[in-house]
Structure 1
Amino acid sequence: MTIDIRVPPESEIAAFRTAVVEGFSDEAKNDPERIDRFRKAFELDRFLAAYDGDDIVGTFGAFSFDMAVPGGTLPTAGTTIVTVRPTHRRQGILTAMMDRHFSDAAEKGEPLAALWASESSIYGRFGYGMASYMNDVSIESDRGAFRPTVEAPGRVRLIAVDEAKQVIPPIYERVWRERPGSFGRPGPWWEDRWFRDDPEDRGGATAWKYVVHDVEGEYKGYARYRVKLDWGPFPNNEVKLGEIQGVDAASRLALWRYLLDIDLAVKVTCWNQPADLEVPWALVEHRRMGQRRTDGLWVRILDVEKALAGRAYRVPGSLVLGVKDDFRPETSGAYRLEIDQSGAATCSRTDEAAQIFMSMETLGSVYFGGIPVHELANVGLVAGDRSAIDLADLAFGWGVSPFCPEIF
């Protein structure tokens, strides 16, 4: 059996979409409207298909992101729609597609790749490391009283979708660079993905509702949510938060206050909130917000020198890092990282002996600053001189938890 990896032609996009949907065990319905939405939602020239003869047995895609890293942004390949047909598993198809994906990203000058993992056991062998946490949260509305120290000036306005399309993107543009793992959303992304609201995607809840936080005429935050209606003997509705963003904690808390005060609702839930969510600390009863932590974004470093020089650091210092890359051995080696007093850095290959050692997967995990180096050293994923590990722990850390606000 010979498997050919190539970009599918325009004439085979419907077949490619079928392979994607069925690869996630769903049923493909390729009517013209769905095919058109699929074309608009992805970068077709970054599709990869694995062919067994004329059959598409594997799929792969990528987005061309500008992604926030500590202190800046870097071009990033957003790995997506990765599938292999069950009849062709364990035959090296994913490995071949991943190798092509990394080569294409490197040619485009993208020093990073990032993805959401359907299973946490899949991507470490390719050098992706779990780089952020997400919190699945839930709180009963009547237990959502805030401490008296919490101040939330301004007002929250419920707005129609047409107004939301005008005012929400500029708010996001103000905030996304501050949160490693977030990415810039170009105009088509907003129209074809974020504001898309197909009835079949609502899970029995309402259409998206949009609110903005207004402080003296300045919009400082927004939220979108649905309400899942449950009318029994008593109202038992659930507010399902989709996304909340604000320029500061006061704005985010004002929006949470609104959500918790919605009449006829008994709880607020959200499947994806950052690890440093302020709300539990704002509550009179901290324990009342249930939180289940799991992995969020995974990061793969493709160009160590560009990636390490492209982010900022919290303390100055000099480190020689030894990196082992089993999937792309040419990236393995020692790298000297020089951090100045401002937190800016240079990085270059060196023949010097490494002071600290880690795999490419581990380097991806610590890159955004949300996974402490010492935690990974405690389980043998980082080795070397103790003082070097301590310096890396301080330098790589960041004051904001990494977070990606949506699956791609």
Structure 2
Amino acid sequence: MVDIHEVPEADIDRALELAYLVFHDRPEKEARARHHALLVRCLRIGAYDGDALVGFMAAHDFRLSVPGADLPCPGLTFVCVAPTHRRRGVLTGLMTEMLERALGTGSPVAALWASEAAIYGRFGYGGATTGVTIEIDSTRPLALRIDPDRRPLRLVDPEEALAVIGPFHESARTRRAGRPSRSAPRWREEWLAEQDEQDEELSPPRIIVLGEPGEPIAGYVLYRTKPEADGGPARAPQGLVRVDELEADTPAVAAALWECLAALDLTGRVRAWGRPPDDPLLHFAADRDQVRVTAQFPALWLRLVDVRAALTARSWAAPVDVVLEVHDVRLPGNTGRFRLDAGPGRAAYEPTDAAPDLALDVRELAACYLGGTRVAELVAAGLVREHTPGAAAALDAALCTPVLPHTSDEF
């Protein structure tokens, strides 16, 4: 029988060794120091078998943008169980403790990125956002259907970048659901770190902003580069531009930033991982053979910890009045029949004895909560039961958002 409790700071190095064992990792000294500093700032839950730490889980203290609101949201990370203690209830114990703590501290939602997608559905997490990888053939100028914004572009020193792009990012975060807040340490240790932890061949971060000198910026791109094989002595090197983040106030600003990236000397390919599926680039690119989606994947997994608090906190695009029959095996307080009566400027969610219009697991409700998954699709997949024709469509209309939820903040 293992004991689940908070991990003291003195045990952080033990927790890291367990994580490195489970994830088959062997980071260098500098990366280990960054991981240690990160875990100092996190809530840490461990599973102890006697004196041995056999399971571990940490949580960032995030806020998450949801439609019309910004909610406290623990971001789970470093989830691991020793190979000697798998299938013995260790992960269930850790997850139960973390969910109960989130509930007790008033966090309506929790989130994670799944290393293995098959694991977290049974704990009530649903895939709430989708990411795509976009690649641009930049061996020729980027063909566009709109005119780029011709205000000046300028490079920003990474040491000064946070003061310049941090406020713009925070503003952009509120306009699209599914985006976690970023602390100054996260900016410095992850996005603006001198060396990329996963690929040592990449350059330090480069930051280009657009806007008139002395005025607020209208957009920025954060990228890194690396050389690649040139394919023969007669050809110039065709390096890679890896786009970590691109934010823009308007499509014209975005077009200017993409055009700049595609024109970088000695490069032949631009790769942007974790872009939203509704990225405007995919529409204003004139040649979709030049701009291609090469991958699509589930990104942020969301858990509704307190369903009532989560549903009444977000905004609603259209009126909806439905009875939901919700099942939640981990947090039974969410289980039951509830009438959702919501619309622009209002939301109520109360227990009822009325017959259900829709029956679903809390996992499916979480997947739809940000507006990235349609309830009707889950009805068609047999995952949601529609007792009243049209109920799924009505709920989808109310959940709809102007842009798809999305985040590239992997944690």
**TM-score relative to the length of structure 1:** 0.94
CA-to-aligned-CA distance 1:356-379 (integer Å, 9 cap, x gap): 111111001100001111111111
Distance 2:314 2:113 in 1: 21
Assess if the C-alpha contact under 8 Å between 1:313 and 1:397 holds in 2: yes
Distance 2:200 2:188 in 1: 21
Partner of 1:317: 320
Which residue type is aligned with residue 379 of structure 1?
A: A
RMSD over aligned CA atoms reads 1.9
Name stretches of at least 5 consecutive residues in structure 2 with no aligned partner.
Answer: none
1:256 is paired with a residue whose SS is helix
Does 1:123 find its partner at 2:123? no
Distance 1:230 1:212 in 2: 26
Assess if the C-alpha contact under 8 Å between 1:225 and 1:239 holds in 2: yes
Partner of 1:250: 252
Moved more, 125-134 or 233-242: 233-242
Moved more, 168-177 or 45-54: 45-54
Which residue type is aligned with residue 368 of structure 1?
A: L
Partner of 2:279: 277
Following superposition, the deviation at residue 250 of structure 1 comes to 2.5
Distance 1:200 1:350 in 2: 51
Partner of 1:46: 43
Partner of 1:202: 199
1:184 is paired with a residue whose SS is coil
CA-to-aligned-CA distance 1:54-97 (integer Å, 9 cap, x gap): 22111101112111001211111111111111121111100000
Which residue type is aligned with residue 277 of structure 2?
A: A
User: Which residues in structure 2 correspond to 1:9-408 (within 5 Å)?
Assistant: 9-27=8-26, 31=29, 34=31, 36-44=33-41, 46-142=43-139, 145-198=142-195, 200-215=197-212, 217-230=215-228, 232=230, 233=233, 234-291=236-293, 292-340=295-343, 342-384=344-386, 385-408=388-411
Distance 2:279 2:196 in 1: 30
Name stretches of at least 5 consecutive residues in structure 1 with no aligned partner.
Answer: none
Q: Check 1:329–1:190 CA distance in 2 against 1; reply closer, same or farther (3 A cut).
A: same
Following superposition, the deviation at residue 219 of structure 1 comes to 0.5
1:207 is paired with a residue whose SS is coil
Following superposition, the deviation at residue 285 of structure 1 comes to 1.0
CA-to-aligned-CA distance 1:202-244 (integer Å, 9 cap, x gap): 3412111111111463311111111111364221111011111
1:218 is paired with a residue whose SS is coil
Assess if the C-alpha contact under 8 Å between 2:41 and 2:60 holds in 1: no
Moved more, 109-118 or 391-400: 391-400
Aligned pair count?
A: 404
Which residue type is aligned with residue 311 of structure 2?
A: L
Q: Check 1:90–1:348 CA distance in 2 against 1; reply closer, same or farther (3 A cut).
A: same
Distance 2:153 2:348 in 1: 45
2:340 is paired with a residue whose SS is strand
Which residue type is aligned with residue 341 of structure 2?
A: E
Amino-acid identity (%): 33
Assess if the C-alpha contact under 8 Å between 1:210 and 1:224 holds in 2: yes
2:349 is paired with a residue whose SS is strand
Distance 2:132 2:196 in 1: 26
Which residue type is aligned with residue 390 of structure 1?
A: A
Distance 1:40 1:388 in 2: 48
Distance 1:377 1:277 in 2: 27
Assess if the C-alpha contact under 8 Å between 2:148 and 2:253 holds in 1: no
Assess if the C-alpha contact under 8 Å between 1:77 and 1:112 holds in 2: yes
Which residue type is aligned with residue 19 of structure 2?
A: V
Which residue type is aligned with residue 350 of structure 1?
A: T
Distance 1:231 1:159 in 2: 29
Following superposition, the deviation at residue 45 of structure 1 comes to 5.6
Partner of 2:2: 3
Distance 1:196 1:345 in 2: 42
Assess if the C-alpha contact under 8 Å between 2:320 and 2:342 holds in 1: yes
Which residue type is aligned with residue 351 of structure 1?
A: D
Distance 1:327 1:146 in 2: 51
Assess if the C-alpha contact under 8 Å between 2:240 and 2:270 holds in 1: yes
Following superposition, the deviation at residue 132 of structure 1 comes to 0.8
2:360 is paired with a residue whose SS is strand
